[in-house]
Amino acid sequence: MFSTLIYGVRLAGVGFVFAREGALALVDPAVLPPAGRLGLRLARLVERRGADASHGEGRLAAALTRLGPNWVKLGQFMATRPDVVGVRIARELERLQDRMPPFPTEEARAIIAQSLGRPFDQMFTEFSEPVGAASIAQVHMARLAPGARRQAGEAAGEMPGAETALVAVKVLRPGVRARFQRDLGAMRFAARAAEKLAPAARRLRPVEVVETLSRSVAIEMDLRLEAAALSEMAANTAGDPGFRTPRVEWSFTERDVMTSEWVDGIKLTDLAAVDAAGFDRKALAANIIQSFLRHALRDGFFHADMHPGNLFIDPRGELVAVDFGIMGRLGRKERRFLAEILYGFISRDYRRVAEVHFEAGYVPASHSVDDFAQAIRAIGEPIHNRRADEISMGRLLTLLFEVTGLFEMQTRPELVMLQKTMVVVEGVARSLDPHLDMWKTADPVVRAWITRNLGPAGRIEEIGRGAAALVARIGSLPETLERGERVLARLEKAATSTGFAINADSADRIGRAEGRGLRMATLALWVIAVLLAVLVWRM
């Protein structure tokens, strides 16, 4: 169809940018069929001078940045899926910085006024130029107008100086949804084509990956949902020592605008300022690790983008996190899995680490627990012969996932996101304290969770949850039986009937439609080939 041609042309342009920036150097020719290897050699003829033709380091990130915000977002998403793109490309994608040129402040003011349904000057007396701009939105510092919160129907006085408080206003980029839907169409087309033309690609489920990206970005582009994530984490961490989140200004938050308390603190990227303020770096590093583990284990809800630019130290010495667009969740099974494997490595109980994998159903029962424990030991023993400050918990989990791949462990996206976030968090902590003992720091949090949840009290609670679930199932049993009877009746009817007939006219129409689709696909491929030839000729 015509859409096939449009998507084909767009993907041809994307392919040219990848080739031009030298990103195709990351593709291993050995995994390609002969025709694919020929195509790769031809495509790399257009690499610009200066591109790293041997390794491609930095070139994939450069290509995605050149393609625009939506492709940067795709790259960041794929950096969390080394199971799909491979470890090498995932590490390359980690170079991506979600920093984009800002859009005009006047446009931001107009979006705010339209979204909130009030004149701008009645809400804010001050409004800065952008203080940060990313692929989805940008942030401004503003000051609430006197009486603005009362006019919005919100009680004032909930925080110091609430009536004229400084706030952070996050504004969605104009037109970002339409642009993303356009690019998403091309991504879906490419994913479907990959599954049809390359059977080996089906194992990586490219269509499912694109749909997951679509859902993730759809959530990120509704700033009310980010505000809800911020509010949920604030409730979870209300009593935590040394950690807090900004307060959401719900009366100034809508789909395209989110307003929250302005964080007056020192970014963890500014270590000189941290030292000048007299903060204890070692205590801050321990606080970062323990806070993250509390969120992941206790709450099952963690900030999945905890790079140093999103972390501040306020005047009271508390850690403050911002930018809650990307969050991770862990169910009870995943939390138990994480706690037990960390504790197993700490205590050198490798068989228990192996058993946890089998109990969770992550490793097929056809494999041997003893063989798996032996593989786990190969990871764990070397770390006990090294200094504590040389041991990386994030690296440990990376090695664990690599080994489990040999035992056919099914990929768990939530655990991959956790591992990627832990690597980032650990890097931030070690920038503050290079000699940080990760295991000693993590031990109190992990041990407390295991004692609480796997001890007698935890077992009793688990039995209670199981009993409640059983009662709920029994309550729905009559409805379930009724549905089962209807299904059985339909199956019986289908089994005794002659089946579904397709008349000749329908079959003819299906054949003509398939023929048109094949012709349009062939035409699209020829157009792409011609465009690439023209582009190469013009270089």
**pLDDT single digits (tens) 409-432:** 766 677 777 877 888 888 899 899
pLDDT digits (tens, 9 = 90+) for 128-184: 999 988 888 999 999 999 878 766 665 444 444 455 589 999 999 998 888 888 888
Judged against a pLDDT cut of 50, whether residue 531 lies above it is answered with: no
319 versus 88: which is more confidently predicted? Answer: 319
Judged against a pLDDT cut of 90, whether residue 52 lies above it is answered with: no
Average pLDDT over residues 51-79: 71
Buried b or exposed e, range 85-116, using 16+ CB within 10 angstroms? beeebbebbbbbebebebbeeeebbebbbebb
Per the CB < 8 A criterion, the answer to whether 77 and 71 are in contact is no
Buried b or exposed e, range 450-466, using 16+ CB within 10 angstroms? beebeeeeeeeeeeeee
Q: Alpha helices, DSSP H only, in 237-365?
A: 271-276, 281-293, 332-347, 350-359
3-class secondary-structure state, position 294: helix
Average pLDDT over residues 194-210: 70
496 versus 281: which is more confidently predicted? Answer: 281
133 versus 23: which is more confidently predicted? Answer: 133
Q: Are strands 166-172 and 257-261 parallel, antiparallel or unpaired?
A: antiparallel
In this prediction, residue 131 carries a pLDDT of 93
Q: Tell me the whole-structure pTM to 2 decimals.
A: 0.73
Which pLDDT band, with edges at 50, 70 and 90, does 275 fall under? very high
Q: Are strands 319-321 and 243-244 parallel, antiparallel or unpaired?
A: parallel
In this prediction, residue 511 carries a pLDDT of 57
pLDDT digits (tens, 9 = 90+) for 94-141: 767 667 789 999 999 999 999 999 999 999 999 999 998 888 899 999
Judged against a pLDDT cut of 80, whether residue 8 lies above it is answered with: no
In this prediction, residue 231 carries a pLDDT of 96
In this prediction, residue 515 carries a pLDDT of 54
In this prediction, residue 222 carries a pLDDT of 93
Average pLDDT over residues 438-444: 83
Buried b or exposed e, range 245-269, using 16+ CB within 10 angstroms? bbbbbbbbbbebbbbbbbbebbbbe
Beta bridge partners of 258: 170
Average pLDDT over residues 471-480: 65
In this prediction, residue 535 carries a pLDDT of 44
Average pLDDT over residues 28-34: 69
In this prediction, residue 178 carries a pLDDT of 86
Average pLDDT over residues 482-503: 65
Judged against a pLDDT cut of 80, whether residue 3 lies above it is answered with: no
Among residues 83, 305, 323, 433, the one annotated as catalytic is 305
| Per-chain mean pLDDT for the chain | 78
370 is catalytic: no
Average pLDDT over residues 342-356: 84
In this prediction, residue 46 carries a pLDDT of 75
- Among 422, 408, 413, 236, which residue's Cα sits nearest to residue 342? 422
Judged against a pLDDT cut of 90, whether residue 452 lies above it is answered with: no
Gap between the Cα atoms of 356 and 364, Å rounded: 12
Which pLDDT band, with edges at 50, 70 and 90, does 273 fall under? very high
312 versus 427: which is more confidently predicted? Answer: 312
The percent of residues in the chain predicted with pLDDT above 90, rounded, is 27
Average pLDDT over residues 396-412: 70
Judged against a pLDDT cut of 70, whether residue 70 lies above it is answered with: yes
